[in-house]
Amino acid sequence: MVMQHKPAPERLEDETLVGRVQTGDAGAFESLVLRYQDRVYNVCYRFVGHAEDARDLTQEAFLKAYRSIHRFQRESGFYTWLFRIAMNAALTHRKKARLRLAGSLDANEADTIPAPPDRSPPTDADASVNHQRVANALAKLEADHRAVIVLRDIEGFDYEQIANILEIQRGTVKSRIHRARAAFREVWDRKELSNSTAHTGPRP
Amino acid sequence: MTEDRDRFTEQLNAYLDGELDDQQRQAVEDRLTHDTDARAELNNLRERVRLIKNLPRESAPSDLLGNILTAAQTTDENVHRRTKPRSTLHTLRSITLVAAALALCVTVGLWSASLTERPNRRVAVSSIEPDIRNRAIETFESIQSEVAPSRPLAKSQPTQTAITAMDEVASNEPLSQSPQLAMAESESPPNSLAGAVFAAANEPNPATHVPTDASPQSAMLTIVSPDRNDADRCIRLARDFDTRRTAGYSGNLRTRYEFSDSSTARRAIENADSPNETHITISADHLEDLIRQLDRNPTRSVTLVANTSPANTQHEKLARRSRLHAKKLERSEARRNGRSVLHDADRKPNRAFSDHRALGLQTATPTTAAGIAPTDTPIQLTIRLIVDPESAAAPAMRPAPHESKSPE
Of A21, A58, A152, the CB nearest to B17: A152
Q: In A, which residues are within 8 Å of B56 by CB distance?
A: 116, 119-120, 131
Query: What sections of B338-400 are H helices per DSSP?
Result: 344-347, 351-359, 389-393
pLDDT score, position A93 = 82
Look at residue A108 in the predicted model and tell me its pLDDT.
43
Q: Which long-range contacts (CB under 8 A, 24 or more apart) does B45-51 make?
A: B45/A181, B45/B9, B45/B12, B45/B13, B45/B16, B46/B16, B48/A181, B48/A184, B48/A185, B48/A188, B49/A153, B49/A181, B49/B16, B51/A130, B51/A134, B51/A188, B51/A204
User: Phi-psi region for residue A160, left (φ > 0), alpha (ψ -120 to 50) or beta?
Assistant: alpha
Q: Is residue A204 part of a domain?
A: no
Total tally of structural domains belonging to chain B: 2
Containing structural domain, residue B44:
2-53
> Does A188 sit within 8 Å of B55, measured CB to CB?
no
Sheet containing B301-308, strands listed edge to edge, beginning at the edge strand earlier in sequence: B277-281, B301-308, B381-387, B372-373
Residue A1 lies in a domain: no
A61: which chain B residues are within 8 Å (Cβ-Cβ)? none
Chain B: closest CA distance from residue A81 (Å): 18
CB contact under 8 A, B17 and A177: yes
The secondary structure of residue B151, as a DSSP letter, is: S
Residue B128 burial class via C-beta count within 10 angstroms: exposed 0-12, middle 13-18, buried 19 and up: buried
The Cα of B368 is separated from the nearest Cα of chain A by a number of Å equal to 34
Residue B18 φ/ψ region, left for φ over 0, alpha for ψ in the -120 to 50 degree band, beta for the rest: left
Number of domains in chain A: 1
CB contact under 8 A, B9 and A178: yes
Shared domain check, B200 and B90: yes
Residue A192 lies in a domain: yes
* pLDDT interval class at A130 (50, 70, 90): confident
Whether residues B48 and A204 touch (CB distance < 8 A) is answered with: no
Contact across the interface for B75 and A159, Cβ inside 8 Å: no
Tell me which chain B residue has its CA closest to the CA of residue A50. B58
B14 contacts in chain A (CB < 8 Å): 159, 174, 177-178
A119 contact B CB<8A: yes
Cβ pairs A/B, distance under 8 A? 129
How far lies B375's CA from each of B353, B354, B365, in Å? 17, 19, 28
Do B78 and B44 belong to one domain?
A: no
Q: Are residues B184 and B42 in the same domain?
A: no
**What is the structure's pLDDT at A181?**
94
Q: Convert the pLDDT of each residue in A77-110 to its tens digit.
A: 888 899 999 999 898 887 777 666 554 444 444 4
Interface contact A24-B83, CB threshold 8 A = yes
Is A3 contained in some domain?
no
For chain B, say whether A26 makes contact (Cβ under 8 Å).
yes
Chain A residues in contact with B55 (beta carbon < 8 A): 46, 131, 134-135, 154
C-beta atoms of A37 and B60 within 8 A: yes
B150 HSE (CA, 13 A, CB side): 5
- The minimum CA-CA distance between B75 and chain A, rounded to whole Å, is 7
Domain co-membership, B207 together with B93 = yes
In a domain, A90, yes or no: yes
Q: Report d(CA A113, CA A139) in Å as an integer.
A: 8
CA distances from B123 to B2, B106, B192, B284, B295 (A): 78, 14, 20, 19, 32
d(CA B165, CA B353): 12
Q: Do B11 and B137 have their domain in common? A: no
Residue-level pLDDT at B316: 53
Q: Which domain, by its residues, includes A169?
A: 8-117+126-198
In-domain check, residue A163: yes
Q: B41 lies in a domain? A: yes
Residues from chain B contacting residue A174 (CB–CB below 8 Å):
10, 13-14, 19
Q: Give A-chain residues touching B58 at CB under 8 angstroms.
A: 38, 41-42, 45-46, 51, 54, 116-117, 119
Buried residues in B235-247 as b, exposed as e (16+ CB within 10 A): bebbbebbeebbe
Whether B73 and A26 lie within 8 Å, measured CB to CB? yes
In a domain, B400, yes or no: no
In a domain, A2, yes or no: no
pLDDT for the residue numbered B33:
92
User: Which among A66, A174, A185 is the nearest to B48, CB-wise?
Assistant: A185
Please check whether residue A72 touches B, CB under 8 A.
Answer: no
What pLDDT is recorded for position B168? 23
Q: Do A42 and B57 touch (CB under 8 A)?
A: yes
Residue of chain B nearest A156, judged by CA positions: B53
- Residue B183 resides in a domain: yes
Q: Is A130 on the interface with B (CB under 8 A)?
A: yes
CATH number of the domain that A169 lies in? 1.10.1740.10
Are B81 and B36 in a shared domain?
no
Mark yes or no for CB contact A158/B53 under 8 Å.
no
Whether the CB-CB separation of B395 and B305 falls below 8 Å is answered with no
Question: Using the beta-carbon criterion (under 8 Å), do B13 and A59 form an inter-chain contact?
Answer: no
Residue-level pLDDT at B284 = 52
Are B236 and B380 within one domain? yes
Q: What integer pLDDT is reported at residue A189 of this predicted model?
A: 85
Give the CA-trace dihedral at B384, B389, B391, B396, to 10 degrees.
100
How far is it, in rounded angstroms, from Cα B168 to Cα B176? 18
SS3 B204: coil
Same domain, B168 and B250: yes
Q: What letter represents residue B142's amino acid?
A: S
Q: Do B65 and A33 touch (CB under 8 A)?
A: yes
Set of chain B residues whose Cβ sits within 8 Å of the Cβ of A177: 13-14, 17
The answer to whether A67 contacts B10, with C-beta atoms less than 8 Å apart, is no
Question: How confident is the prediction along chain B (408 residues), in pLDDT tens digits per residue?
Answer: 577 888 899 999 999 999 999 999 999 999 999 999 999 999 999 999 999 998 988 888 888 888 888 888 776 644 444 444 433 334 334 433 443 344 333 333 333 333 232 222 223 333 334 455 555 555 444 444 433 333 333 333 222 222 222 222 222 322 222 222 222 222 222 222 222 222 222 222 222 222 222 233 333 333 333 334 444 444 444 444 333 332 222 222 111 222 345 555 555 555 543 333 344 455 555 655 666 665 555 444 444 544 444 445 555 555 555 555 555 555 555 555 443 333 333 333 222 222 222 222 222 222 223 332 222 222 223 343 332 233 333 333 233 333 333 333
Q: Do the Cβ atoms of B292 and B300 come closer than 8 Å? A: no
Would you state the pLDDT for residue A113?
Answer: 45
Selection from B289, B281, B288 nearest residue B307 by Cα: B281
Instruction: State the average pLDDT for chain A.
Output: 78
3-class SS of residue B280: strand
Instruction: Flag whether residue A134 sits within 8 Å of chain B, measured between CB atoms.
Output: yes
- Cβ <8 Å between A185 and B68: no
CB A26 to CB B76 under 8 A?
Answer: yes
Question: For residue B361, is it within any domain?
Answer: yes
B55, B72, B80 ranked by CB distance to A135: nearest: B55
pLDDT in tens, A40-84: 999 999 999 888 889 999 999 999 898 888 878 777 788 889 999
Same domain, B88 and B31: no
pLDDT band of residue A11 (cuts 50, 70, 90) is: low
ipTM: 0.81
Q: Using CB atoms, pick whichever of B10, B69, B79 lies closest to residue A174.
A: B10
Whole-angstrom distance, CA of residue B388 vs CA of residue B312: 11
Question: CA of B71 to nearest chain A CA: how many angstroms apart?
Answer: 7
